[in-house]
Amino acid sequence: MSHLISIDEATSARLVTDMDRQGFATLEHALTAEALKDLRAYVERQAAKHNNQYFAYHGYPALADSALATLGKSAEFKALMGHMHRLGCGHDASSDEIFPVLRCVQGGTGRKESNSFHYDATLLTMLIPIYTPHQGKDRGDLILFPNLRKMRTNVLTNIIEKMFFQNKLVRKVICWGIHRNLLKPITLRVVPGNVYFFWGYRSLHANQACDPAFRRATALFHYGDPHTGSLATRWILKLNQYRARKAMANSNTTAS
């Protein structure tokens, strides 16, 4: 599939079952060594433009000419995501657009972007780890409270839930609860070469802190917006992009 990954229908059905039952699905050895090497070279070039501090690229213009953009636009990949969406919630997504993101948590400014628990705006999320810290205690694992909620038909309920969870105080409480073992999320050590799927809209999730000495780069592909075109969705996307720009501006000032 666009030379990056290839998944047949039987496998995609297995992935959906895994997401429903255990909250995430893993496709092992989904990337060839060559494909991973190319993605790393791309991230390396972009990281140099950001003084090796935090950066995130949202959408196609930012990712132009990358293998990630080619994958996100490929008809086969759209068909695969569409199939999984249908299996997961019983109906088609209202748009077959896939929204790509590249996040690179690195350097001192990456910390703030960790433990940032949220629900995605879209139902299905595919995560490609490109770099992960392979030493030390803080390796930027993916933390998931899987399938906590159903699809919301009311966009307002969705916004209220998002506002409740996505603020500094609640973030602190969640981290404290995890630390004290009162909350028991799934902690997934994501391994470059593999690809991961979860119901991003339904699962509260974040990446764990990672050692500032190491780079953690992930590509995310978001599919199936239950509230397509609504003001709220546009607002959430804008807010995410604004946050990413602000974090990047901060890292550039800190680094220079």
Q: Is 47 in the site for ligand AKG (CB under 6 A)?
A: no
Distances in Å between the alpha carbon of 35 and those of 8, 55, 163, 220, 242? 19, 22, 38, 16, 30
178 binds, among ligand AKG, Fe ion, none (CB under 5 to 8 A by kind): none
Judged by CB under 6 A, the residue of 7, 43, 81, 220 near ligand AKG is: 220
Residues 174, 176, 180, 185: is their CA dihedral positive or negative?
positive
Q: Is 251 in the site for ligand AKG (CB under 6 A)?
A: no
Q: Is 120 in the site for Fe ion (CB under 5 A)?
A: yes
Helix, strand and coil in the chain, % to nearest 5: 40, 20, 40
Q: Cα–Cα distance between 256 and 246 in angstroms, integer?
A: 15
In 115-142, which positions are buried (b, 16+ CB within 10 angstroms) versus exposed (e)?
A: bebbbbbbbbbbbbbbbbbeeeebbbbb
Q: Is 103 in the site for ligand AKG (CB under 6 A)?
A: yes
Considering the complex, state which of residue 116 and residue 252 has its C-beta at the smaller distance from ligand AKG.
Answer: 116
For residue 198, give both structure tokens: 């979860």
For residue 57, give both structure tokens: 């690229």
Considering the complex, state which of residue 8 and residue 237 has its C-beta at the smaller distance from ligand AKG.
Answer: 237
Q: Is 120 in the site for ligand AKG (CB under 6 A)?
A: yes
Q: Is 113 in the site for Fe ion (CB under 5 A)?
A: no
Minimal distance, residue 8 CB to ligand AKG, in Å: 26
Judged by CB under 6 A, the residue of 102, 123, 126, 142 near ligand AKG is: 142
Considering the complex, state which of residue 12 and residue 114 has its C-beta at the smaller distance from ligand AKG.
Answer: 114
Q: Is 101 in the site for ligand AKG (CB under 6 A)?
A: yes
Where on the chain is the footprint of Fe ion (CB under 5 A)? 120
Where on the chain is the footprint of ligand AKG (CB under 6 A)? 101, 103, 120, 127, 142, 205, 207, 218, 220
